[in-house]
Chain A
Amino acid sequence: MTLLIDHLTKEFVKNSDEPVEVLVDISVEVMDGEFICILGPSGCGKTTLLRIIAGLDHPTSGTVRIDGTVIDRPNRKLGMIFQDYSLYPWRTVNENIAFGLELQGVAEGQRAAIVRNYLALTGLSEFGTSYPYELSGGMRQRIAVVRALAVDPKVLLMDEPFGALDAQTRNKLQYDLLDIWGKTKKTILFVTHSVDEAVFLADRILVLTPRPGRICDVTPVDRPHPRDRTSVEFAQIRRHVLDMINQPKCSLS
Chain B
Amino acid sequence: MGFMKRGGGHEGLLHPHTFLKVILPLGIIILWEICAILLNNEFILPKLESVFVVLLSPTADILGYGNLITNAFFSLERVILGFLIAAGLAIPLGISMARSDSIYDFFDSTMQLLRPIPPLAWVPLALAWFKIGLASMVFIIALGAFFPILLNTLDGVKSVKRNWIESAEILGANQRQVMLKVVLPGAAPTIWTGLRVGFGIAWMCVVAAEMMPGTNSGLGYLIMSSYNWGQVQVIIAGMIVIGLIGIGFDYLFKVIDRRSFSWRVLER
Chain A: residues with CB nearer than 8 A to chain B? 54-56, 74, 76, 78-80, 82, 84, 86, 88-90, 99-100, 102-104, 131-134, 147-148, 151
Q: How long is the Cα–Cα vector from A132 to B182 in the complex, in angstroms?
A: 15
Shortest C-beta distance, B166 to chain A (Å), equals: 6
Interface residue? B73 (CB, 8 A) = no
Q: Of A79, A84, A99, which one neighbours B168 at CB under 8 angstroms? A: A99
Interface residue? B129 (CB, 8 A) = no
Q: How long is the Cα–Cα vector from A132 to B261 in the complex, in angstroms?
A: 14
Q: How long is the Cα–Cα vector from A22 to B249 in the complex, in angstroms?
A: 54
A89 touches B167 (CB 8 A): no
A82 touches B171 (CB 8 A): no
Q: How long is the Cα–Cα vector from A86 to B170 in the complex, in angstroms?
A: 12
The answer to whether A99 and B171 touch (CB under 8 A), given A86-B161, A88-B182, is yes
Shortest C-beta distance, B193 to chain A (Å), equals: 15
Q: What 1/0 flags go to B249-266 for Cβ under 8 Å of A? A: 000000000000101101
The tally of CB-CB contacts under 8 A between chains A and B is 65
B169 touches A56 (CB 8 A): yes
Task: Please name 12 further chain A to chain B contacts, defined as beta carbons within 8 Å, in addition to the given A80-B167, A86-B166, sorted by A numbering.
Answer: A54-B166, A54-B170, A74-B169, A76-B172, A80-B166, A86-B164, A88-B182, A88-B185, A103-B168, A103-B171, A131-B263, A133-B263
What 6 A-B pairs are tightest by C-beta distance, nearest first? A100-B171, A86-B163, A133-B266, A89-B263, A74-B169, A89-B267
Q: List 5 A-B contacts (CB under 8 A).
A: A79-B170, A80-B170, A86-B163, A90-B263, A131-B263
A56 touches B166 (CB 8 A): yes
Chain A residues, Cβ within 8 Å of B169: 56, 74
Shortest C-beta distance, A168 to chain B (Å), equals: 24
Q: Of B163, B170, B172, B181, which one neighbours A84 at CB under 8 angstroms? A: B163
Q: How long is the Cα–Cα vector from A80 to B171 in the complex, in angstroms?
A: 9
Interface residues of B in 214-268 (CB under 8 A from A): 261, 263-264, 266-267
Q: How long is the Cα–Cα vector from A82 to B177 in the complex, in angstroms?
A: 20
A86 touches B167 (CB 8 A): yes
Q: How long is the Cα–Cα vector from A56 to B168 in the complex, in angstroms?
A: 11
A90 touches B168 (CB 8 A): no
Chain B residues, Cβ within 8 Å of A86: 161, 163-164, 166-167
Q: How long is the Cα–Cα vector from A74 to B171 in the complex, in angstroms?
A: 8
Q: How long is the Cα–Cα vector from A82 to B266 in the complex, in angstroms?
A: 21
Shortest C-beta distance, A133 to chain B (Å), equals: 4
Q: What 1/0 flags go to B129-167 for Cβ under 8 Å of A? A: 000000000000000000000000000000001011011
Chain B residues, Cβ within 8 Å of A151: 171-172
B266 touches A131 (CB 8 A): yes
Interface residue? B46 (CB, 8 A) = no
B172 touches A104 (CB 8 A): yes
Interface residue? B194 (CB, 8 A) = no
Residue of B nearest to A51 (CB): B166
Interface residue? B173 (CB, 8 A) = yes
A82 touches B163 (CB 8 A): yes
Chain B residues, Cβ within 8 Å of A99: 168, 171, 181
A74 touches B170 (CB 8 A): yes
Residue of A nearest to B261 (CB): A90
Q: Of B161, B166, B181, B264, which one neighbours A103 at CB under 8 angstroms? A: B181
Shortest C-beta distance, A157 to chain B (Å), equals: 9
Q: What 1/0 flags go to B166-208 for Cβ under 8 Å of A? A: 1111111100010001100110100000000000000000000
Q: How long is the Cα–Cα vector from A56 to B173 in the complex, in angstroms?
A: 13
Residue of B nearest to A79 (CB): B170
